Amino acid sequence: MALLPILRFPDPRLKKVAAPVHNIDASIKRLARDMAETMYEAPGIGLAATQVDVHVRLIVIDTSETHDQLLTLINPEIVESQGTQVCEEGCLSVPGIYDKVERAESVVVRYLDLEGVERTIDADGLLAVCLQHEIDHLDGKVFVEHLSLLKQTRIKAKLAKQAKITA
């Protein structure tokens, strides 16, 4: 297993649209394991392959308090959504920044598991938010792009300052 480096916003590679997985081979299974290890170590409650600079449609999520309910979703697709909720979000690619984003309250997501079996999840609350956040990553969208342009400019300035200090 390996910890993978996570891209930082506004890295242009975070804007790439990920390609569907056609073959769930050993390299996809290894990537899923490495992403889970990276997510737990960060720590975070989700991670998309885009964030580790691999542009395939694969996400891992664990929103449980016990960190033992890992979900690995290949080619996830929102097939139904209902209502709205506003939730404070963070992102491992935008460290130290948290802000409120409006999302659907509940979603039904269709995906393939690691054995290639088609499944659906019916999610609400934090899991629904996390699914939408991670699927956005696969489409090249970071949560700050849901915020005003003024906020985005401030966030970029703050991250640039942080990067200067740590360089």
Which residues are known to be catalytic?
134
Query: Does residue 12 have a cis bond before it (omega within 30 degrees)?
Result: no
152 secondary structure, DSSP code = H
133 binds ligand K1U (CB under 6 A): yes
Looking at 7, 56, 112, 129, which residue binds ligand K1U (CB under 6 A)?
A: 129
Euclidean distance between CA atoms 167 and 162, whole angstroms = 9
Q: Which residue is nearest to ligand K1U (CB)?
A: 44
Looking at 4, 28, 46, 52, which residue binds ligand K1U (CB under 6 A)?
A: 46
Which residue, 29, 39, 46, is CA-closest to 126?
46
Least distance in Å: CB of 161 to ligand K1U? 20
Looking at 130, 138, 144, 159, which residue binds ligand K1U (CB under 6 A)?
A: 130
45 binds ligand K1U (CB under 6 A): yes
Query: Applying CB under 6 A, which residues contact ligand K1U?
Result: 43-48, 89-93, 129-130, 133-134, 137
